[in-house]
């Protein structure tokens, strides 16, 4: 598409000579702005310093629009590089423009935007700052809209205008539904990303002869394994859930003890959730199935609330702290086992007979 010539520019181009200067506008993620040009000038209310040394030529045809450009800013006096480091320039928005002026001062000057994109720092040393500018389409959308379609939060942690968090923590994993992100800081309403909408799953406990009462339930799929007491050797051995009986005793990996089962109820037509740990432990269950983050976590968290990066407690022949590698709706429905225990309330469930997630079988009442 041909460029539209702004009003007044054609008159300047028709002059025997026309003064031109290249400008660069940089807007960092924290909203700080820098304006440099090949000469000191003022455009509207914006003052430009004469620190821009060079701008690469932009070539555009009908079939090949430009996708990148390059600029060099002087840094001998540390006016720019003394305050801006490479990390500050990541995801910064850059605009290359051209200033046209009548040398005689008769016609009004005209500024034209030539190229817009995302700044990518290449070199920052004691003499110069080299920046490559990726075009809108090549920059994955960072400069097309105010935000990207990435799942992670795009706001700087503790940014006053976007994040708003002012607590004592110094890091954030940028996840909305994470104890190390927004959820753990009661800050989900300020999540600054484009996470996919929550999957709408029917609540457990709707009317039906096999359905349990409302509330958090622990329901591994019938083809999963749990650890029970071996009758002959009194050590934990795997047992497939569908063959579990009330007289079996479930193994508590945290205490190392065995506990009696209070009741077992098969629940049909349940949406299935899959939680996978980084060490390979995996379990398929109802979405309200409770899994422990770590040893001291005595109540468990519904698997539907886990996101990659969250802590998760596993058993692989011994207790092992791991992290969530994947947590998602498995796009299937199946039969699960609602397990109630007499006491202890902690057991192990997994998709393989040697790798388990550490689970909780009931939700504890809130403390007064």
- Which pLDDT score is estimated for 217? 62
- Identify whether the C-beta of residue 275 lies closer than 8 Å to the C-beta of residue 312: yes
Strand ranges of the sheet holding 52-55, from the earlier edge strand across to the other edge: 33-37, 19-27, 93-101, 110-124, 128-135, 68-74, 52-55
Burial of 187 (0-12, 13-18, 19+ CB in 10 A): middle
Confidence of residue 80 (pLDDT cuts 50, 70, 90): low
164: left (phi over 0), alpha (psi -120 to 50) or beta: left
Residue 202 has pLDDT above 60, yes or no: no
Predicted local distance difference test score (pLDDT) of residue 62 = 52
Q: Is residue 366 over pLDDT 70?
A: no
Residues 6+ apart with CB under 8 A from 61: none
Compare 344 and 225 and report the one with higher pLDDT. Answer: 225
User: So what's the pLDDT on residue 232?
Assistant: 80
Chain centroid to Cα 156, Å, comes to 12
pLDDT at 215 (0 to 100): 43
pLDDT for 214 equals 42
State the Cα–Cα distance between residues 275 and 254, nearest whole angstrom: 20
- Find the helix or strand (DSSP H, E) in which 13 lies: helix 9-13
Name which residue leads in pLDDT, 290 or 121: 290
DSSP lists the bridge partners of residue 358 as: 348
Distance CA 198, CA 302 (A): 14
Tokens of 328: 């998602």
Domains of the chain, each with CATH number or no CATH: 9-135 (2.40.10), 147-197 (no CATH), 225-360 (2.170.16.10)
Residues, the chain? 368
Asked if 156 and 29 count as a contact pair (C-beta separation under 8 A), the reply is yes
Q: Residue 72 forms beta bridges with which residues?
A: 54, 130
Q: How many CB atoms lie within 10 A of CB 339?
A: 25
Is the pLDDT at 63 greater than 60? The verdict is no
CA distance 111 to 114: 10
The answer to whether residue 10 scores a pLDDT higher than 90 is no
Average pLDDT rounded to a whole number, residues 302-316: 90
Task: Write out the DSSP string of 56-121.
Answer: PPP---SS----EEEEEEE-TT-TTTTT--HHHHTT-EEEEEEEEE-TTS-SPPEEEEEEEEEEEE
Tell whether the model's pLDDT for residue 57 goes beyond 90: no
Q: Is the pLDDT of residue 7 over 90?
A: no
Note the Cα 203 to chain centre separation in Å: 27
Query: Do 6 and 17 form a contact (C-beta atoms < 8 A)?
Result: no
**pLDDT digit string (tens) for 279-308?**
999 999 998 889 998 888 877 888 888 989
How high is the pLDDT of residue 100? 92
Residue 319: both structure tokens together: 């207790």
Mean pLDDT in residue range 19-26: 90
Q: What is the pLDDT of residue 85?
A: 62
pLDDT over 50 at 208, yes or no: no
Q: CB of 81 within 8 A of CB of 124?
A: yes
Residue 79: what pLDDT? 60
pLDDT digits (tens, 9 = 90+) for 224-260: 999 999 888 878 999 999 999 999 999 999 989 999 9
CA distance 120 to 35: 17
Q: Which residue has the higher pLDDT, 289 or 195?
A: 289
Mean pLDDT of 41-62: 79
Q: How confident is the model at residue 216 (pLDDT cuts 50, 70, 90)?
A: very low
């Amino acid at each position: 598409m041909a460029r539209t010539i702004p009003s007044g520019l054609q008159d300047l181009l028709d002059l025997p000579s026309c003064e031109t200067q290249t400008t660069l506008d940089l807007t960092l993620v924290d909203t700080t702005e820098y304006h440099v040009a090949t000469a000191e000038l003022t455009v509207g209310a914006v003052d430009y310093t004469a620190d821009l040394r060079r701008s690469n030529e932009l070539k555009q045809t009908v079939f090949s629009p430009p996708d990148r450009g390059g600029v060099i800013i002087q840094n001998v006096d540390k006016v720019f590089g003394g305050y801006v480091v490479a990390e500050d320039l990541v995801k910064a928005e850059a605009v290359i423009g051209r200033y046209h002026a009548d040398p005689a001062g008769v016609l009004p000057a005209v500024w034209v935007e030539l190229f817009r994109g995302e700044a990518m720092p290449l070199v920052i040393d004691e003499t110069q700052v080299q920046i490559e500018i990726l075009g809108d389409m090549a920059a994955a959308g960072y400069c097309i809209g105010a935000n990207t379609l990435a799942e992670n939060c795009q706001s700087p942690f503790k940014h006053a205008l976007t994040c708003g968090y002012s607590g004592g923590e110094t890091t954030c994993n940028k996840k909305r539904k994470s104890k190390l992100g927004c959820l753990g800081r009661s800050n989900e309403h300020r999540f600054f990303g484009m996470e996919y909408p929550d999957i709408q799953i029917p609540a457990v406990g709707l009317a039906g002869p096999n359905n349990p009462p409302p509330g958090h339930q622990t329901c591994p799929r019938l083809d999963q394994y749990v650890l029970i007491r071996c009758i002959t050797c009194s050590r934990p051995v795997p047992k497939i859930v569908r063959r579990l009986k009330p007289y079996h005793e479930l193994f508590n990996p945290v205490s190392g003890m065995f506990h009696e089962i209070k009741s077992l109820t098969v629940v049909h037509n349940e949406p299935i959730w899959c939680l996978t740990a980084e060490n390979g432990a995996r379990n398929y269950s109802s979405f309200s199935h409770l899994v422990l983050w770590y040893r001291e976590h005595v109540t468990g968290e519904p698997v539907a609330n886990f996101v990659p990066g969250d802590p998760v407690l596993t058993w692989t022949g011994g207790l092992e702290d791991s992290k969530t590698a994947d947590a998602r709706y498995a796009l299937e429905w199946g039969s699960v086992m609602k397990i109630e225990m007499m006491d202890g309330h902690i057991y192990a469930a997994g998709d393989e007979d040697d790798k388990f997630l550490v689970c909780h079988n009931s939700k504890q009442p809130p403390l007064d």
